[in-house]
């Protein structure tokens, strides 16, 4: 049985990330080994070839590296807080809840726009301790469902760049207002990358893609937006070049890592609150 996926704009971006993780995970030297992604892709009725823009082949490593880094931080949080509540924002069709070993006491919420969650519910099971929420994260009401008495891990992969800076600030304030402690892990682009996608916005729109809105200027950005957060760590994606199994792509990422202007083009961040 296959399910139709009829998306445009920001919702469509989750099909690209799913497809690239599935592609990367089929290689014997896979960085991520997201075999669930490969199975899910086979159940979606969609012409994935039309998503492929130039750079698609190399982007599968970018996606795998960022997902693995966020998986490692998430697994570390769950080890320290087996009773955690995990809010996985802009989850798309990502299999993270099923890739990680969830402690029996943890609760996981996958959150995305209603149409995405409708499709997700047809493709994934909803076991005990796991729940989906179909809502924009900019709507404050979805948070009312979330228990407040546990340590909270917020994961936002491939999301914050699509929200405006004001939406991001409002969202983060809701976490510090509502929960007493937790961590936020996410990915963010340098300002020059955001400006570049904005210059390409017409071309991207013709292909049905949105451009990015929000950059992460430096590792203190989130503390400036909301002093309730404290910086813990950041990892430039390019610094993970040694994990790439294909020499040509490894060399490109290694060079990007060696050049200060490109080293921080894309980073994963970890903040506490
Ligand atoms: C680039 S995809 C990333 C999906 C997933 N995290 C992954 O890595 O495969 C961006 C996701 O953010 C979701 N999204 C965008 N704006 C959103 C919003 N305001 N509220 C909830 N989800 C949103 C999109 O529907 C899409 O699934």
The CATH number of 65-272 is 3.40.50.150
pLDDT tens for the chain, residues 1 to 273: 799 888 888 998 999 999 999 999 999 999 999 999 999 999 999 988 776 655 567 789 999 999 999 999 999 999 999 999 999 999 999 999 999 999 999 999 999 999 999 999 999 999 999 999 999 999 999 999 999 999 999 999 999 999 999 999 999 999 999 999 999 999 999 999 999 989 888 877 777 788 899 999 999 999 999 999 999 999 999 999 999 999 999 999 999 999 998 999 999 999 999
Nearest atom in ligand 1 to 66's CA? 8
Cβ < 6 A, ligand 1 pocket: 10-11, 13-14, 17-18, 90-92, 94, 112-113, 116, 136-138, 157-159, 162
Neighbours of 14 (CB within 10 A): 23
Q: Tokens for 259, please give them.
A: 């050049």
DSSP summary character for residue 100: S
By most ligand atoms within 8 Å of CB, the mutation choice from 59, 87, 112, 209 for ligand 1 is 112
Q: What angle do CA 212, 215, 220 make, to 5 degrees?
A: 160
The closest of 20, 34, 73 to 269, measured between CA atoms, is 73
- pLDDT of 56 reads 67
Neighbours of 63 (CB within 10 A): 23
Neighbours of 172 (CB within 10 A): 21
Dist. CA 157 → ligand 1 center (Å): 8
Dist. CA 165 → ligand 1 center (Å): 16
| Cα dihedral value 73, 70, 238, 221, nearest 10 | -80
Strands (E), the chain: 3-4, 44-45, 85-89, 107-112, 130-134, 152-156, 182-189, 230-236, 266-272
Nearest atom in ligand 1 to 14's CA? 2
User: pTM of the full predicted structure?
Assistant: 0.96
Dist. CA 162 → ligand 1 center (Å): 8
Q: Is the torsion defined by CA of 58, 90, 216, 223 positive or negative? A: negative
CA distance 249 to 241: 8
Neighbours of 191 (CB within 10 A): 12
DSSP summary character for residue 211: P
Q: What angle do CA 44, 89, 226 make, to 5 degrees?
A: 160
- pLDDT of 139 reads 96
- pLDDT of 270 reads 98
Dist. CA 33 → ligand 1 center (Å): 21
By most ligand atoms within 8 Å of CB, the mutation choice from 90, 121, 162 for ligand 1 is 90
CA distance 147 to 178: 10
């Amino acid at each position: 049985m296959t399910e139709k996926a009829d998306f445009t704009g920001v919702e469509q971006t989750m099909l690209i990330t799913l497809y690239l993780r599935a592609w990367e995970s089929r290689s014997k030297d896979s960085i991520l080994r997201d075999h669930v992604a490969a199975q899910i892709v086979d159940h979606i009725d969609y012409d994935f070839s039309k998503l492929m823009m130039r750079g698609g082949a190399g982007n599968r490593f970018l996606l795998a590296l960022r997902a693995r880094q966020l998986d490692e931080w998430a697994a570390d949080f769950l080890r320290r807080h087996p009773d955690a509540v995990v809010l996985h924002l802009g989850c798309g069709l990502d299999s993270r809840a099923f890739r990680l070993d969830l402690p029996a006491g943890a609760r996981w919420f996958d959150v995305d726009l209603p149409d995405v969650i409708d499709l997700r519910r047809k493709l994934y099971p909803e076991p005990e301790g796991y729940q989906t929420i179909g809502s924009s994260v900019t709507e404050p009401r979805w948070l009312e469902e979330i228990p407040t008495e546990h340590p909270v891990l917020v994961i936002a992969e491939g999301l914050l760049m699509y929200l405006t800076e004001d939406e991001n600030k409002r969202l983060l304030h809701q976490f510090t207002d509502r929960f007493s402690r937790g961590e936020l892990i996410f990915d963010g682009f340098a300002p020059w990358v955001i400006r570049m996608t904005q210059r390409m916005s017409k071309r991207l729109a013709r292909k049905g893609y949105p451009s990015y809105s929000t950059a992460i200027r430096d590792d203190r950005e989130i503390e400036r937006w909301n002093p309730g957060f404290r910086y813990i760590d950041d990892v430039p994606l390019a610094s993970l070049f040694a994990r790439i199994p294909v020499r040509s792509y490894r060399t490109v990422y290694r060079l990007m890592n060696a050049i200060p202007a490109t080293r921080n083009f894309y980073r994963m961040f970890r903040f506490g609150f």
